[in-house]
Structures are given as structure tokens and as C-alpha cells.
Amino acid sequence: MTAAPRDDHWRRPVFALSAASFMVQADRWAMPAFLPLMARDFGKTVPSLGVIVVAYLLPYGLLQLVYGPVADRFGERRVIETACGLMSAGILLSALAPSFGLLVLARGITGVGAAGVPPLGISLLNDLVPRLQRARSLSRYMSISFMGQLLSMLVGATVAGIVGWRPVLFAYGLLSFVTLLDLYRSLAVARGIEAPGHRHGFLWSYSELLRSPGARTLFPAIALEGFLINGLFSFLGGFFSEEIGLSSLNIALILSMFGIAAVAIGPLTKFLWSTLPLGRSTAAAALIGAAAAALYLFPPSSALVNLPATFLLGFSFILGHNAFLSAAGNMGRGARSTSMAMVALCFMGGGALGVQAASWIISHWSYRVLFAVWSVATLASALGYMKTLDQDPRMEATPGVAGGTDDPG
């Protein structure tokens, strides 16, 4: 792995990593607002476009099996730079895709690249930043990342409603390439101090991780979280467009409440997940998510329902995911990148299944059936988290730390 650089030379690399993660979030979370526009262009229904979301989520998750151990062995820097280049190319190809099939392929390429940026960025941040500044740097990294989500939902989706989704994605692709160039220059600090972490291979990395206390209950719980969050949120834009008939601007405003919750409430959630046992903090998040799904069952014409429901969904996500992320960071000593990659694997892999399941429910029944099923399932997940994640007291979230060991591997 790496040793922390002296003085404050880590500040510029942290900002560059945050900017790269910003672009990942901007591209990924724009899709729920873009799907109604894409459906109109290709003459399809929104549920049938779930394959676009799955084409991104599936490689994003599966590639963690490779990215994490490769980064543990050869260093995160090389992997992040290569992955950011692939992501940038994939976004540009998405904007230029002349057919639905090529769009699906381009989203797959984007997912392959994006998979190597946020999880390994967090791991490299922990290597570069001195321990005393690590919590603040992680908080800043996460805040900038979620600003990408918020601005994409609010500004990107609004502009797409005026000029179309292709110009917005093309602009995202160009910005990603600019970010890549800055990343390459900024990570010169890591280039000077980085050394391979270990040479035990893939099997060692995962066996080390899975031997950690609570790992075999934590990572399935993260997969369930991904199933529920991605399955519901991916089709909210379609619900607002097809069932309520909202304009692109109104859809963007409502969906932006998810990002607003992540940015505004995220720093405050540390008090909950750093003082409560992991099972209770994630159960609290699931209860909030169940309430959000239930709110969508009310008469849909009123913003008094849809705005707070989407805000609560974002609150549920940021509370639960931060707790899961911190707990996973304490696992797999010497295989930190693998642990962070496993989080992404489970969340995105579960998300791909959740999108498929939600698409099937909408196609065979309705959006309201989806909300009812998701509300009950999320409520059941809260009970499951309480029962399984609190059984092992050694599996805890550490305040302000993701990848919270000092062991450099």
C-alpha cells in the first residue's frame, strides 16, 4: 500500500479524487431523470429501460472482484486513472449512441470505468491523509461526491428537459476528461510514495476480508440495501412522468430532494451511526426508507407528499450507507481496497437485481404495487438488521473513518 506524505501535500490529490467521484455521482444519479426522456426518444416505456440501469450497475459491481485486489497489489493510483479514462469514454459514447443497443453497451463501458473510482478513491484517501486529518477529509470527499448527485439531479436534469439528454451527457463526458487530466497531475504525490501493498493474490485478499468479524452478515446486508434503494429510486422519474404527468423541471426539483438530503443531512448522521450499534443505526435508516416508500402511495398530485418522501429516501440512504461504509472500513486488515470494493460489489450487484425486480413489478402491475411491496420489504429489512448486525459487538462503525485501520498493508 502507501505511506502518508509529509506536510499537506495530500490536499490537492484529495480534491482531485473528490472531483472524480463528483463526476461518477453526476453521471450515475442523472439516469432516473433521463429515463423518461430516453423512453420518448426510443419509443419505449420507462420500465423497459431498466436494462440501461442494469447495464451500468452490473459491471460496476462485478468489477469490484478485480479492482480491489489489483489495487491492493499494484496501488490504487494506476487503477483509478485508468478507470476514470474508461468512464469518460463511456459517457461520451452514451451521448453519441445512435441506437438503443449501443446506448446499453456504452452504459456498460461507463459502469466498468466508474467502478474503479469512488471505492478506491476512499482507500487512497486513507493512505494519503494523516490520521488526524482523515475524518475531515473523508467528510469533504463525501460532500463533494454528493454535490455531484445533487447538481446533476437539479441542474443537469433541468437542462436535459430543455436541450435533451444527449448534450448533457456529452458535457459530462468532456468534464470527466478534464477531471482525468487533473487527477493524473495531482496524484504525482502518490506516484512518488506508492509501493505495492502485498503479493498474495486475489484469493488471499478475499479470504482475509471474509475472516473479519461480522463480514458474512455485513456484506449481504449491504446488498439488500442496494436492492431496495436502487430498485425504488431508479423509477421515480418514470412514476412522476407517466403517472402524474410532471414536467422535466418538476421531476428534477423533486428528485433533487434526494441529493439535498444526502448533502445537508449527511454530516449530521455521524452522531447516530457513531453512537448506536450498527444494527440499530441501519434499522433506523430502513424505517425511514419504509416510510418514504409508503408516502408515495398517497394521492400523487401533491408536492406535499412527493417532496418529503424523496427527501426521506435520501436521508435513509445516507444514514444507512455511511454506517455500512464505516463498518466495512474496519475489516480486512491489509486488504483495505478489497473491503471498499466489496461494499460497491454488494451495493451495485444488489441494485441490479432490485432494478430488475422493480421493472418486472411495474410492467406486470403498477407503480403503486411497487411502492407497497418496497415499503413492506424495507420494513422487514429493518428487523433483519436489528437481529443480525448487532449480534457481534466487534463489528462496529468507527466515527469519521472509512478504512479505519492504520495498518498500511
Residues 41-52 have a mean pLDDT of: 91
Q: At 362, list the grid cell.
A: 411495474
Q: At 365, list the grid cell.
A: 402491475
CB 261 within 8 A of CB 312: yes
Q: What is the C-alpha to C-alpha distance for residues 53 and 63, in angstroms, rounded to an integer?
A: 16
Q: Is 288 exposed, middle or buried (0-12, 13-18, 19+ CB in 10 A)?
A: buried
307-360 confidence digits (pLDDT tens): 999 999 999 998 888 888 778 876 755 566 677 778 888 998 999 999 999 999
Amino acid at 246: L
9-27 confidence digits (pLDDT tens): 677 888 899 999 999 999 9
Q: What is the C-alpha to C-alpha distance for residues 282 and 10, in angstroms, rounded to an integer?
A: 32
Residue-level pLDDT at 407: 32
Q: What is the C-alpha to C-alpha distance for residues 67 and 58, in angstroms, rounded to an integer?
A: 14
How do the domains of the chain map onto residue ranges? 11-191+200-388
- Phi and psi of 2, rounded to 5°? -130, 160
Q: At 4, list the grid cell.
A: 502518508
User: Is a pLDDT exceeding 50 seen at residue 1?
Assistant: no
CB 277 within 8 A of CB 387: no
181 vs 74: which has the higher pLDDT: 181
69 vs 359: which has the higher pLDDT: 359
Average pLDDT over all residues of the chain: 82
Q: What is the C-alpha to C-alpha distance for residues 107 and 95, in angstroms, rounded to an integer?
A: 10
Full 3-state SS string of the chain: CECCCCCCCCHHHHHHHHHHHHHHHHHHHHHHHHHHHHHHHHCCCCHHHHHHHHHHHHHHHHCHHHHHHHHHHHCHHHHHHHHHHHHHHHHHHHHHCCCHHHHHHHHHHHHHHHCCCHHHHHHHHHHHCCHHHHHHHHHHHHHHHHHHHHHHHHHHHHHHHHHCHHHHHHHHHHHHHHHHHHHHHHCHHHHHHECCCCCCCHHHHHHHHHCCCCHHHHHHHHHHHHHHHHHHHCCHHHHHHHHHCCCHHHHHHHHHHHHHHHHHHHHHHHHHHHHCCHHHHHHHHHHHHHHHHHHCCCCCCCHHHHHHHHHHHHHHHHHHHHHHHHHHHCCCCCCHHHHHHHHHHHHHHHHHHHHHHHHHHHHHCCHHHHHHHHHHHHHHHHHHHHHHCCCCCCCCCCCCCCCCCCCCC
CB 253 within 8 A of CB 360: no
Residue-level pLDDT at 405: 32
CB 319 within 8 A of CB 285: yes
What is the C-alpha end-to-end distance of the chain, expressed in Å? 6
Q: What is the C-alpha to C-alpha distance for residues 355 and 79, in angstroms, rounded to an integer?
A: 28
Radius of gyration from C-alpha coordinates of the chain: 20
Residue-level pLDDT at 75: 76
Q: At 403, list the grid cell.
A: 478504512
CATH code, 11-191+200-388: 1.20.1250.20
Residue-level pLDDT at 206: 74
Q: At 98, list the grid cell.
A: 445512435
Q: At 245, list the grid cell.
A: 404527468
Residue-level pLDDT at 192: 52
164-196 confidence digits (pLDDT tens): 999 999 999 999 999 999 988 888 765 555 544
From the centroid of its chain, how far is CA 163? 27
213 vs 63: which has the higher pLDDT: 63
Question: How many Cα atoms sit within 13 Å of 366 on the Cβ side?
Answer: 8
